[in-house]
Amino acid sequence: MSGVVLTVSQLNRYAKSLLDGDAKLQSVFVQGEISNFTNHYRTGHYYMTIKDEDAAIRAVMFRSANTRLRFMPENAMRVIIRGRVSIFERDGQYQLYIDDMQPDGAGALSLAFEQLKEKLGAEGLFAPERKRPIPAMPARVGVVTSPTGAAIHDIIQVLSRRFPLTELVLCPVAVQGASAAPQIADGIARMNALQAADVLIVGRGGGSVEDLWAFNTETVARAVAASEIPVISAVGHETDVTICDLVADLRAPTPSAAAELAVPDQNELRGLLGGQVLRMHKAAQDKLKLSRNTLQLLQLRLERSGPQHQLDDLRMRCDKAVMALDTAISSNLASRQARLAALCAKLDAMRPLRILASGYSVAQKDGKILTDAAALAPGDRVTVRLSRGGFACEVTEIKDDAEWKN
């Protein structure tokens, strides 16, 4: 091409063709550190720089590739990249087009787990205060799991043995693979929308980290957090801990253990009920004994304060009052009799007949007792009453007091 004048576009296109034509550059593995990372949220593409101690190269990972990542790239993260080298014609930018990326050191799944754990923890989804209590005796237990796995069989067996009155409501979902997480999240949402259960068991049996990965996704974690029905997470074996376990209201080490946590043991309930019956019987006997003692005490008080007792008391008080009245009347009568006798004696002493018997007489004129000689005149007729009998006389002479004294 010596002596040929090219436009910039032609030059960039030619350089691109050279790079694209090199088979070695169409699938390369590059180790380096991420810097200048940008998540272009509108398009979903990732832009970054991959560098080592001596050099750097621009890189891009389109949305079609980065949706397969199990972790979110970050600045200063060391990674191993598989991709191709080419030129962005418009800018003449030599760059790396990333098809896949793995953390250099920690595994991608482990890194993704820690990233999501940190993110959801910062939002408070693991906080103890947001976890709800599991109902003591649920009428319906919902199970979101595979209909063919060992987990559902273990759960059915435990529920039948421990509390056969509980109704099991199964929501069949895939528990591994690309469709598992959306199905599990949708199953939780549908169980809530239908209010199909009092408590939910979400989980599956054991498996590899990859097999359990659906329960480490943000989709499932947020569905569990949004559930209005309390959720028991039962994923894998006792040593397996998933994001679903951390968000759930209660974690069970296995599906069988989840079933044991979801319902009470009927044998324990019978024992508790028997103990309650004995305690109630004893309490009733104690209450009856206390009531009898109280009744006896009330009867005694009633006898002491009853009508018959009060009548006897009133009768005694009445008798005493009658006796006192008799005494008072007798005393008053004697006193009055003595006074009457004295008055009679006094009256008798003043009785005219007694006075006449002493030698006195009573002179009357026209039926009126004479007390003053001035009321008489010579010739008046006067009757004189003696103690025994009397006489009539005619006045011949009248004298006053002085004349009588002479």
**Backbone phi, psi, residue 350, to 5°:** -100, 5
Give me the residue label for tokens 């591994």: 176
Residue 118 has pLDDT above 80, yes or no: yes
The pTM of this model reads 0.54
Within 8 A by CB and 6+ apart from 255, the residues are 145, 150, 151, 152, 154, 155, 201, 203, 204, 205, 234
Each residue of 31-75: pLDDT tens digit?
A: 888 899 999 888 889 999 998 888 989 999 999 998 888 788 888
Going by pLDDT thresholds of 50, 70 and 90, the confidence category of residue 5 is confident
End-to-end CA separation in angstroms for the chain: 212
**Residue-wise DSSP of 202-239:** EEE----TTTTGGGGSHHHHHHHHH-SS-EEEEESSTT
What pLDDT score does 317 carry? 85
Fold of 8-105: OB fold (Dihydrolipoamide Acetyltransferase, E2P) (2.40.50)
137-264 homologous superfamily? Response regulator (3.40.50.2300)
What's the confidence (pLDDT) of residue 375? 83
> In percent, how much of the chain has pLDDT > 90?
40
Q: Token pair of 43, please?
A: 């398009």
pLDDT at 120 over 70: yes
Say which residue, 280 or 301, is predicted with more confidence: 280
Give 344-397 pLDDT, tens digit per residue: 777 766 666 666 667 778 888 888 888 888 888 888 899 988 878 888 898 888
Alpha-carbon distances, residue 20 vs 58, 62, 74, 81 (angstroms)? 17, 18, 29, 18
Type of residue at 71: F
Average pLDDT for residues 132-155, to the nearest whole number? 94
* Residue 339, pLDDT above cutoff 60: yes
pLDDT, position 259: 95
Residue matched to tokens 């209909």 = 147
CB 82 within 8 A of CB 100: yes
What's the pLDDT at 99? 92
Distances (CA, A) of 254 to 112, 145, 151, 243, 289: 23, 13, 8, 15, 52
Tally the residues of the chain: 406
* Residue extents of the structural domains in the chain: 8-105, 137-264, 268-305, 306-350, 356-405
* Residues 349, 346: Cα–Cα separation, whole Å: 5
The pairing of strands 28-40 and 78-88 is antiparallel
- For tokens 């067996």, the residue is 157
Q: Tell me the C-alpha to C-alpha distance, in Å, between residue 158 and each of 144, 253, 257, 270.
A: 16, 15, 9, 17
Which contacts qualify for 368-376: CB closer than 8 Å, 24 or more apart? Answer: 373/398, 373/399, 373/400, 374/398, 374/400
Average pLDDT of the chain to the nearest whole number: 87
Q: Which amino acid is at 359?
A: G
Residue 1 has pLDDT above 60, yes or no: no
Tokens representing 378?
């010579």
Range 229-248 average pLDDT = 91
Paired residues of 96 in beta bridges: 59, 85
- Give the C-alpha separation, 212 to 218, whole Å: 13
Q: 306 pLDDT band (50/70/90 cuts)? A: low
At 91 the three-state DSSP class reads coil
> What was the pLDDT predicted at 356?
65
Residue 2's pLDDT band, with cuts at 50, 70 and 90, is: low
pLDDT at residue 256 tops 90 = yes
